[in-house]
A and B are shown apart, each in its own frame.
Chain A
Amino acid sequence: MTTAPDLDVLRERIRGMEQAGSRTGVELPTHPALAGLLRLRAGSSYAVDSLSLAALMMAGPSVEGSWTAVVGVGDLGAEAFASLGVDLDRTVLVPDPGESWLEVTAALVDVAPLVVLRPPPRVSEAAAAKLAARLRKRSAALVALGDWPRCEARLAVTGLRWTGPDHGAGHLAGRHVDLLVRRGAGPAREASLWIPADGSVRRDRTGEKVRPLLGEVG
């Protein structure tokens, strides 16, 4: 009883579905320290190489009252995440999704507009595409810890300078974090963050000015 629909009707339908699902332009709240470096967009994926950066990405939507989810991370330091602005009451962890990581992440996208995932070593293009479609449909963003195919942007820590410890005396206090932000084929951007002990992260403009003087060529 199924009748083959006209090809034009099918195309029209596909266009309609694409439009219905294409709320990719929607911006998610971004932590002020990352403003200007990166815009968290619904439907996009991001790769970071540090848990603190992932926490910063989570903090934006979390502070605004959204749920966030973390998949595949069995070594999360809850206190540090809380101090960086993540509301733990609205955070859900799935430390060990095993083989079902893709299914679980897709299900969590329904709940949380931002999902942090530590993916298994090799992720196929097909799996990434499947998840990307889900992200677009649900207006959510994915932050991968490690590599991820087809990212909107990749954040990498290129330098870390701690203040505090001094040959046994003192203790870790604050850190300057140098970041390299690469977006697609565009030019990479450098930036520095200052993360003091209380987690009130801000852009470290002084560090950015100093860098060229150090003779580093990117």
Chain B
Amino acid sequence: MGARVMVVWCPDWPVVAALWEAGMPAESARRVPAAVLEKGRIGACSAAARETGVRRGMRKRDAQSGCPDLRLLDAAPDRDARAFEPILAAVEELRPGVAPLRPGLLALRSPGVFYGGDAHAGAVLAEQVVTAGAWDCRVGVADDLFTAEQAARRAAPQETEVVAPGGSAAYLAGLPVEVVDTQPDAGDLVSLLRRLGLRTLGDLAALPADAVGSRFGAYGAWLHRAVSGAGTGVGHLGARTPPPELAREQVFEPAVDNVEVLSFSIRRTADAFVAGLAHHGLAATEVRVEVETEDAPGVAVGRDWLHPRVFTAADLVDRLHWQLSGSTRGRGVPAGQRTGTQVGSPVTLVRFVPVVAVGEATHAEGLWGGSTDERVARGLAKVQGILGHDAVLVPVLQGGRGPADRQALVPYGERPVALRDRALPWPGRLPDPQPARVLAEPWPAAMVTGDGRPVVVDDRGAMSGVPGRFRTSAAEPWQPVAAWAGPWPVEESWWEEGGGSRLTRFQVVGVDGRAWLLALAGTEWWTEAGYD
């Protein structure tokens, strides 16, 4: 029997972390119905919120209608990583070699042998984690990583679920296929399995391996191996210690103190690391990320990261990001003074060391998947290298009234945060079609009646005259109005300082056929957009 794997799971971690950083004591945080929003939907919620019917994936307003005092928090992966750091440190005191899988989930080789059994070791560990401040933690022990994680997810709060040695396949067989939904790269596999009438992981395990591979893709094949008890991660037969020369490092001269910049510039090294392993037919499942800083030259601070499957270059960059976000807390910087992207001390070196690798045949998809996206990522990184990270943008749509409010530009590679919900009604929004040209800065425009008097709108929405001539900016010539629609009053704070002024919108078509969206604020006309 190889080493047993112990997994510690802190449920609803994003919520715990958010309340924690908001300074709420654990005692009251436990009873607060709270949820973290991801892209306008509930990404995670607390047990108290779940009791009122809030579920993952719900829309914000549905959740709020079921639970009016729901406390909503923005998603922040950095915060999750930062808050998890003290938990990792607490577990490390008991047993070195702790490897986080992601914030809220960690694995280690079970210290059962020192404590007279896995259950006892689990109890000691749970006590340590609760002392560190996480009031809800669950422990699972099994022969392999996947089973241990599932066991932890089925354990009662602060309890340990132990799967007997050699009992993984029998344990998993009874679980419903829905448990796979907790895996980050499961996609819509669960709904596919359900539609085929496969209710439990046992049903899946009973299928022949080759049929699974062709029908459910590489992830399905991996899952099939996992549930058949073939082992998947730590202590798994195919796992081996990779040669140390496959480590890759990057020196930063001068030192870099911004996490975003680091994450961006480490990308090529991460690519080279994954490619170097692939060249030897390997893919890493455990990687040590080592960081040297200016404060302590020559002293590499490292952390081992586990991946439920295999590390891709993007995964490595994420782990570095989490590790650096976590370390700012470790340095005792008060919560209010952290900028979020600043590292405690400027980084001079980052090194990726493969700790455990498996043959690539086991994880073909990790190497082949998303090849187009990889190429795009490389190409866009090149443009970011020329102009800077923030110059390469991806447009996203969001809710809002004016055309400029309804879109946002997000730097490529970043997740959009705090977008307004498009599903809300947004009274005053423009009817379709939407303008193809939305000016970043409105142009000062002008509109007069046929006999040259300015057109204004009074408080009750009455116009001083019929639009006769207009110009879209001071540089453009005047032209007669061919058709117009409006006025549409909008109450909103405007782009000007001291906003909140009343705004009236008009659609105006010139005699050249081109249509414009003009806005009247007080007595001033502005061009907001063009129906180009």
Contact = CB atoms under 8 A, between A and B. Distances in A.
Given A78-B395, A100-B387, 11 more contacts: A80-B436, A83-B433, A95-B393, A107-B386, A108-B383, A162-B513, A166-B485, A168-B486, A171-B431, A172-B431, A198-B433
A89 B530 CA distance: 23
A197 interface: yes
24 contacts: A50-B436, A76-B395, A77-B438, A81-B395, A82-B397, A83-B434, A92-B380, A93-B409, A94-B392, A96-B391, A97-B387, A111-B379, A162-B509, A162-B513, A166-B483, A168-B486, A171-B430, A171-B507, A172-B509, A172-B515, A172-B531, A173-B433, A195-B433, A199-B433
A79 to B, nearest CB: 4
B484 A168 contact: yes
Given A77-B437, A80-B434, A165 B509 contact: yes
Residue of A80, A88, A111 contacting most chain B CB atoms (<10 Å): A80
A91 B509 contact: no
A173 B515 CA distance: 11
Nearest to B435: A77
A194 to B, nearest CB: 12
A81 B440 CA distance: 16
Contacts of A67: 376
B497 interface: no
Contacts of A103: 386
A199 B466 CA distance: 30
Interface in B505-532: 507, 509, 512-515, 529-532
B432 interface: yes
Given A159-B513, A170-B485, A94 B393 contact: yes
Nearest to B422: A79
A21 B468 CA distance: 56
A132 to B, nearest CB: 19
B484 A75 contact: no
B412 interface: yes
A92 B412 contact: yes
A164 interface: yes
A206 B135 CA distance: 72
A25 interface: no
Given A77-B529, A111-B380, A165-B484, A88 B437 contact: no
Contacts of B530: 75
Interface string B390-409: 01111111000001001101
B432 A197 contact: yes
B513 A160 contact: yes
Contacts of B383: 94, 104, 107-108
A78 B419 CA distance: 15
B472 to A, nearest CB: 12
A97 B382 CA distance: 13
Interface in A95-126: 95-98, 100, 103-104, 107-108, 110-111
B382 A107 contact: yes
Interface string A52-67: 1001000000000001
A88 B392 CA distance: 14
A198 to B, nearest CB: 6
B397 A111 contact: no
B507 A172 contact: yes
A74 interface: yes
A88 B433 contact: no
B439 interface: yes
A75 B509 contact: no
Contacts of B439: 75
B500 to A, nearest CB: 25
Nearest to B516: A172
A167 B466 CA distance: 8
B386 A76 contact: no
The 9 nearest A-B residue pairs measured at CB = A160-B513, A111-B379, A165-B485, A79-B434, A78-B395, A80-B436, A78-B407, A77-B438, A197-B432
A187 B432 CA distance: 36
A51 B376 contact: no
A96 B386 CA distance: 12
B215 interface: no
B460 interface: no
Nearest to A110: B379
Contact of A88 (B396, B431, B485): B396
B331 interface: no
Contacts of A111: 375-376, 379-380
B532 A52 contact: yes
Contacts of B397: 78-79, 82, 88
A11 interface: no
Given A93-B394, A95-B393, A197 B379 contact: no
Interface in A159-218: 159-162, 164-175, 195-199
A79 B514 contact: no
Interface in A22-77: 50-52, 55, 67, 74-77
A134 B526 CA distance: 41
A149 to B, nearest CB: 23
Contacts of B396: 78, 88
A79 B532 CA distance: 13
